[in-house]
Structure 1
């Protein structure tokens, strides 16, 4: 017998956070997400997606009142798909298909009552940059904000009938790995041009770099794959929030005279410090974080954005920027690995860019879809 409990009180909220820690207690690669990051997603005052959606959390108990699974289920009117599609996320479950099926059936019924015809999962009731997808290959330490799960989760989803809607490819390259000769040749070419210069991002000049970032991003990416225009004010606010973790050696901007033409944005992988905090971030943990940040070497950096304005694309300015930045960070940081955030397999243009950086796929996640009407033809994500 399995019982579903909606998460309503503080005890249930705590259990929603604590259950994964017990489940993964013997898995050396598991890193507990910050409780605050999880709770903020389910707080209507913190998560703007509640304005256009609804979200509930559930715990699942056996006859001994022991937690055997958990999930969040949600609808978001802004999540436009070819079918009315809801989402499930923050799924954790013991290795038992019956329990998983009960959880999926519960979510299916909840979504059908709200007019949905399909469900995607595991996804986030928020942006795609965090807690999105099921890990299917590369069961190594997750990056900050990245889902992690046991390999058996793949069977739990696929045995129920979920199919891969799109794969999420994660690329990586060693900082001290060989750099493509094309990059070094392009670097030498543009280095001789007195109009071209490269600058690392500095904390004392966030206003300048927010302006430059916005200009490059909107020219390079706003029309790519349905992207949105970014506002300078919002970018500056984001930069100020990031200020405590900005490393001044690993984010680079390229200019033609004073005009920004390319950028390569990276941050340290916060999980390399957060993994010592057991999900907490109170006063004591903040002091611990500062100590670890000061004295514990972080060898992973994460690529956030890479962009070149259209008129400078295919002219080797990316090679100039990468080799200029790489030479500098090799001398001035402890980073040994560059990780790229996931790229959907529906985006061959971005995959080609990642491959051009001499990177390799080190892990894969999958966004699964389950169509309620089993007679309907399943369709994968459209190529963009």
Structure 2
């Protein structure tokens, strides 16, 4: 077995073709759209790589690709922890520990060369909405952006020495169901009508204002936490541009108190319900038109909550429930949406977990963000809990 670097059209193609060998006919696996994956590795489309670096490798055995991995170093992430920490992701491998070890060794050696002292994985380059975490429970078709992998991957990571830095939970909810907790919705309706508060759904025609409001709320809500990563306006612009086909404006909500932004909520349709019909992961004009047609025909009946944030001053005011109240009115109008996934919330965030449970969510899936310390004698610490 030997490692080669992904550095040209042939190796890029091999990088994308390997998962088809790993997953075969697994009906739960939905091939990610190739152009979306490639945009992650493109400095012109991924703002995180302007100051960061990335490298990809393939593992070969007798002329056949049997594994792949990417490693990346982004200063805004690396400098957020006790030790400089890089990332690994897009890992795929046959069920062979020797093969996995060679991939991990290669990625970790590259990160060490950049001054890193630890590796987190499997994670994404940049924001954590997509391609983040190792699936360990809930081996069903994942919603758009949530990773899927064979069960044996956990053993490959843990045997090498990765440990769980935090767990990521996803919850299922039918927000239109009459069986949801009545008390919650009464409080939600009351809070939503309190004077001084204003609720607005996102509009592309006013995206500059909403992007700035998003950043203001995000920084106040997360800047003091260990998992905080600064978001630049360009990051949001890029995500909106790449995801415009996915976004429904009234799935994104902002809350204002006396005209100041205090909370946001973002949800997208689960496009994996459409992408599963395109097994080669490639899009062309004809397929895009077909996707738009299927979306218009209301084939998609599931949506995924990407992120929710409330500034500290209002985190005990019931604003979270009021946002769900506004969203419920939207989904009662769009009644073809009957499934919602609240994903993901880390075990370091008990307040958000309690909200997901209070609204009637049922935990259905678990992913792990794992960490490998290069100094094997250093004490391992899990992600700290967000305190009140």
Q: Please, what TM-score do these two structures have when normalized by structure 2?
A: 0.85
User: How far has the Cα of 1:280 moved from its partner?
Assistant: 0.9
Is the CA contact 1:183–1:316 (under 8 Å) kept in the aligned structure 2?
A: no
Q: 3-state DSSP class of the match of 2:290?
A: helix
Q: 3-state DSSP class of the match of 1:102?
A: helix
Q: Which has the larger radius of gyration?
A: 1
CA distance in 1, matches of 2:299, 2:362: 24
Residue of structure 2 equivalent to 1:271: 272
Aligned residues: 378
- Segments of structure 2 that go 5 or more residues without pairing to the other structure are none
Is the CA contact 1:135–1:364 (under 8 Å) kept in the aligned structure 2?
A: yes
Is the CA contact 1:186–1:317 (under 8 Å) kept in the aligned structure 2?
A: no
Q: 3-state DSSP class of the match of 2:221?
A: coil
Residue of structure 2 equivalent to 1:280: 282
Cα displacement string for residues 216-261 of structure 1 (whole angstroms, at most 9, x for unaligned residues): 7635x42223157878898678656655433355444566787766
Cα gap change, 1:180 to 1:206, in 2 (>3 Å): farther
Cα displacement string for residues 47-87 of structure 1 (whole angstroms, at most 9, x for unaligned residues): 22333222111111112x11110111222232222122222
Residue of structure 1 equivalent to 2:351: 349
Residue of structure 2 equivalent to 1:246: 247
Cα displacement string for residues 272-304 of structure 1 (whole angstroms, at most 9, x for unaligned residues): 222222311221221221122122521111123
User: How far has the Cα of 1:136 moved from its partner?
Assistant: 1.1
Residue of structure 2 equivalent to 1:128: 128
Q: Is 2:164 the partner of 1:164? A: yes
Residue of structure 2 equivalent to 1:40: 39
Cα gap change, 1:12 to 1:268, in 2 (>3 Å): same
Q: Is 2:221 the partner of 1:224? A: yes
Cα displacement string for residues 344-381 of structure 1 (whole angstroms, at most 9, x for unaligned residues): 22222332333332212211111111122222221112
Cα gap change, 1:346 to 1:327, in 2 (>3 Å): same
Cα gap change, 1:158 to 1:263, in 2 (>3 Å): closer
Aligned-residue Cα RMSD (Å) equals: 3.0
User: How far has the Cα of 1:102 moved from its partner?
Assistant: 1.7
Is the CA contact 1:252–1:264 (under 8 Å) kept in the aligned structure 2?
A: yes
Is the CA contact 2:202–2:210 (under 8 Å) kept in the aligned structure 1?
A: no
Q: Is 2:91 the partner of 1:87? A: no
- Segments of structure 1 that go 5 or more residues without pairing to the other structure are none
Q: 3-state DSSP class of the match of 1:125?
A: coil
Residue of structure 1 equivalent to 2:103: 103
Is the CA contact 1:183–1:318 (under 8 Å) kept in the aligned structure 2?
A: no
Q: Is 2:72 the partner of 1:74? A: yes
CA distance in 2, matches of 1:27, 1:383: 36
Residue of structure 2 equivalent to 1:183: 184
User: How far has the Cα of 1:316 moved from its partner?
Assistant: 3.9
Cα gap change, 1:368 to 1:256, in 2 (>3 Å): closer
Superposed, 1:1-384 pairs within 5 Å as 2-63=1-62, 65-78=63-76, 79-80=78-79, 81-177=81-177, 178-187=179-188, 189=190, 201=201, 203=203, 206-207=205-206, 211=209, 214-215=212-213, 218-219=216-217, 221-226=218-223, 242-247=243-248, 250-252=251-253, 263-277=264-278, 278-308=280-310, 313-384=315-386
Is the CA contact 2:32–2:281 (under 8 Å) kept in the aligned structure 1?
A: yes
Is the CA contact 2:3–2:60 (under 8 Å) kept in the aligned structure 1?
A: yes
Cα gap change, 1:118 to 1:212, in 2 (>3 Å): closer
Cα gap change, 1:84 to 1:97, in 2 (>3 Å): same
Q: 3-state DSSP class of the match of 2:102?
A: helix
User: How far has the Cα of 1:46 moved from its partner?
Assistant: 2.2
Cα gap change, 1:216 to 1:24, in 2 (>3 Å): closer
Cα gap change, 1:261 to 1:333, in 2 (>3 Å): farther
Cα gap change, 1:193 to 1:272, in 2 (>3 Å): same
Cα gap change, 1:69 to 1:314, in 2 (>3 Å): same
CA distance in 2, matches of 1:56, 1:191: 48
User: How far has the Cα of 1:126 moved from its partner?
Assistant: 2.1
Is the CA contact 1:175–1:338 (under 8 Å) kept in the aligned structure 2?
A: yes
